[in-house]
Amino acid sequence: MAKSQHGEETAAGCQTKVTRLHSTQVARSACSKAKPSASVKDVTADNRDTSKGQFSIEKLDGCRSGNTLDLHGKGIKKIRSFEKLPGVKILDLSCNSIDEIENLENNYEITELKLYGNNIRKIKNLERLQELQILQLQFNRITSIRKGLLRCRKLQRLRLDSNQLICVESREFSGLSQLTSLDISHNQLSDITAVNALPCLEELLASHNKLCGIIDLSKCNKLQELDLSNNKISEVRGLSLLETVTIVNLSGNVLCSTECLGSLCSLQELNLADNQLKSVCSFSEQFPNLEVLNVVNNYIDFRDGLKSLAQCFHLVELNLAGNTVETSEETEEEQTMNLMEISYLMPQLERLDGVPLNPSNNEKQNASLMQKSTLASASLESTQKIASCLMDFESQMEDLQKSLAERFSLVKNLMESLPKKLPFKPSRTISKRLTSVTSSGSHPQTSCRSRSRIEEARSFAAQHFEK
């Protein structure tokens, strides 16, 4: 589920939170606080000496960390010739006083270049940076792109926001076949048709420009996030052809309806605040998977469209304040009733105009979770006890097996110690007598009393066993 980028909104204020920080004053103040260190002063001092003509690697070691060379806010005014910096992938020259991009051709291994917060007016001398993937040029004074990016064929992320761009042309983007993210917000652009020349574009941020009328984005086939807020746009075409769009911000424009957006089945977050919308009846059909909706400060009468909006079953955050009908003024009781109706029709809703809903449900969920946790701990204890009993049983079985093995060994040793033959040989007389006893019967057969039987036995023994 997509996470909302909006902050908490009240019914009175209804101000949306911008997903990116575009404030020039914040960036400038952050750059102005940066003071050059002593090592960089030495570098810039050497930099003024044209006989040396290069930054010293030894003096830059303190600014280097791994594959990053950090020269942020060091008071550098001009980029002199850099020596080749082996292993450096990220070069940070942001928040300085640089007015020209130059002398970077020796460091063609750079993948990320930060030049934001300077005084750069023209993009140039980037031809040798063939591995460049991320370029940050926001908060400068750039008026046009021209041929500055034609050779940056591996560039993936480009920030040109908060500059002085008046126009962008398709031919200026012709070499950026791998660009996925483009930020051109806070400029003076009146047309952005050129972005259709970017086949891999996934993120387009073009808020706070001078865009007006109809915007066509039909060829941005991979677009996922779109921000065209705070312009004068009346219609956006081509979005219905894009199956990957998940976030759209069109707040602060002059849209009268959403018919131009078509059906966006993948859309999860939609911001249409501060427009001229009058109905939301078609939203459930147009945006079936919508999770976050902001329509504050429009002309929507929710008495007609609320039931239709309730069909957006995935909606968890809704902002609709500032939409009272001009011909009638609602009392506080009526507003309360409307909120209760919304909460009833959309039980899955978690936030309404920045206010969390159904705290009791949350408490129930927490109680349920606690109960489940307690049961789980009890189950774990019983399982541990069973495991302990099994271990004791196995130990007893092992002891019994050892005892039986020892006893069997004793018996076996005793049997092996017995003689296999008799220690003496019986005489012939005894063997004959034994044979005769066996053949004649073992005992005399008589029915006399015990004394007579004893006497007979004695005579029988004397007869047969005496010499």
Degrees to nearest 5, angle at CA 141 with 138 and 147: 85
How many whole angstroms separate alpha carbon 79 and alpha carbon 95?
A: 13
Q: Quick one: 413 exposed, middle or buried, by C-beta within 10 A (0-12, 13-18, 19+)?
A: exposed
How many whole angstroms separate alpha carbon 149 and alpha carbon 289?
A: 38
Q: What is the pLDDT along the chain (467 residues), one digit of tens a residue?
A: 333 343 344 333 434 443 444 444 445 555 655 544 434 443 443 444 433 444 555 566 678 888 999 999 999 999 877 777 788 899 999 999 999 999 888 888 999 999 999 999 999 999 999 999 999 999 999 999 999 999 999 999 999 999 999 999 999 999 999 999 999 999 999 999 999 999 999 999 999 999 999 999 999 999 999 999 999 999 999 998 888 999 999 999 999 999 999 999 999 999 999 999 999 999 999 999 999 999 999 998 877 778 888 889 999 999 988 886 544 556 666 667 777 778 788 889 999 888 888 655 545 555 555 666 666 666 677 787 888 888 888 888 888 888 888 888 888 787 777 776 655 555 555 555 555 555 555 555 545 567 777 777 777 777 766 54
Among the CATH numbers 3.30.200.20, 3.80.10.10, 3.40.50.1580, 3.40.50.300, which is that of 23-208?
3.80.10.10
Which pLDDT value is given to residue 40?
Answer: 42
Segments in 98-250 forming alpha helices (H):
none
Which pLDDT value is given to residue 17?
Answer: 41
Per-domain residue ranges of the chain = 23-208, 211-366
Pick from 223, 214, 151, 227: which is nearest to 184 by CA?
227
Contact, 95 vs 75, CB < 8 A?
no
Report the DSSP pairing between strands 181-183 and 203-205: parallel
Which pLDDT value is given to residue 288?
Answer: 93
Which pLDDT value is given to residue 65?
Answer: 85
User: 211-366, which class in CATH?
Assistant: alpha beta
The model carries a pTM of 0.69
How many whole angstroms separate alpha carbon 71 and alpha carbon 88?
A: 13
Pick from 329, 228, 226, 343: which is nearest to 274 by CA?
228
How many whole angstroms separate alpha carbon 299 and alpha carbon 315?
A: 21
For helices 302-309 and 332-345, what crossing angle results, to 10°? Answer: 20
The two domains 23-208 and 211-366 share their CATH topology (first three levels equal): yes
Which pLDDT value is given to residue 430?
Answer: 53
Report the DSSP pairing between strands 351-352 and 355-356: antiparallel
How far is CA 115 from each of CA 65, 86, 88, 118, 414, rounded to the nearest angstrom?
A: 18, 20, 16, 7, 95
How far is CA 50 from each of CA 15, 54, 61, 81, rounded to the nearest angstrom?
A: 54, 8, 22, 10
Pick from 86, 126, 92: which is nearest to 109 by CA?
86
